[in-house]
Amino acid sequence: DGCFESESGETQINPHASPSLARVTLANLGFLCLQRLMQNMDAEGCLQPSTPFEDLVSSCQMTLNILIDDLNQACNEAHQRMKDWPPMEFQEDESIFISGYFDGKFDLPSNWYFPLRDLQRKVFQIFQQLLDKESFGMFVEKLSQDLSQPMWHNILTALDNGEISACFANAVSLFVNCELSVESNEETYLYLPLQKMSEIIERAGHFVAPSISEPVLVENPSYLYQTAALIEEKENSQSSGVNVKQTVTSEKNANKRKPSTHVVEPETPNDERVKRIRPSLPLHETEEQRRSKEFTAFLEALL
């Protein structure tokens, strides 16, 4: 298409060509982004009936914030590059719009490229009821009354079973298909180049599955095993020594308590035995004994 130029992988508006514009409401564009998010989450296996509603809301809020940033950028770009389009000759009687620009049914305002005001408030005002767990059930239950009986039954069954994430994804698809619609006091229409709108939907609906950290296996140094082995060996040897000591002590105590019956106590010698073992006196006195007796007798005579 001649109205687009590609720079660094992003589409830029070419002011020298007639833009192929899309007319879409802010609510519908938001639901298109959320639907793309649901599809990407499902492809990554992260959209399950048991998916916590808080995780789903967090991803949706991120998608809507990207949508707001990209819309502001696209509107500023269009205001700078396309402010002279359409030319004045296409406007009838200084009209503020080009009649029947979209398939002869809808008009194109002459200020279609003006930046949107208060965009963030408008976006979250539309989607706030969907992003609150308490109000979500009542919101969907109220709107689903206009659905066919099978669709209405499926949504209420999912709500009753606590499958809020699955119910949310179904509700988003119903909004995209215009089977449900959001009631709003102010309808905000966007006029965007078709390819630019597609890029915004893809960017806002992008989803990266959270990484699950794998356990890190750390090999312990060999000296730790050696130290542990030495400690264990020392403990075993000490335990073995204590057991041996206790065994020996027990045996000694047992021997003390129970003397052997084979031990013969020594007999106390009687008087007769003592007499027998005494050496017999000599029959003849020695010369020294004789002189000692004489000296003793001499002393007794003097006294």
- Identity of the amino acid at 150: P
Cis peptide leading into 221, omega within 30 of 0? no
Digits of tens for pLDDT over the chain (303 positions)? Answer: 333 333 334 444 454 455 688 999 999 999 999 999 999 999 998 888 778 889 999 999 999 999 999 999 998 888 778 766 666 666 565 567 778 888 878 888 878 888 888 899 999 999 988 898 888 888 888 877 778 888 888 888 888 888 888 889 888 998 999 888 887 777 889 998 899 999 999 999 999 887 765 555 666 656 555 655 666 666 776 665 555 455 555 555 555 545 545 544 555 545 444 444 444 445 555 676 777 777 777 776 766
| Cα(26)–Cα(34) distance, integer angstroms | 12
State the pTM of this model. 0.63
- At residue 7, the pLDDT reads 38
- Please give the span between the terminal C-alpha atoms of the chain, in angstroms, as a whole number: 169
Closest CA to 85 of 63, 117, 110: 110
Closest CA to 147 of 171, 115, 124: 171
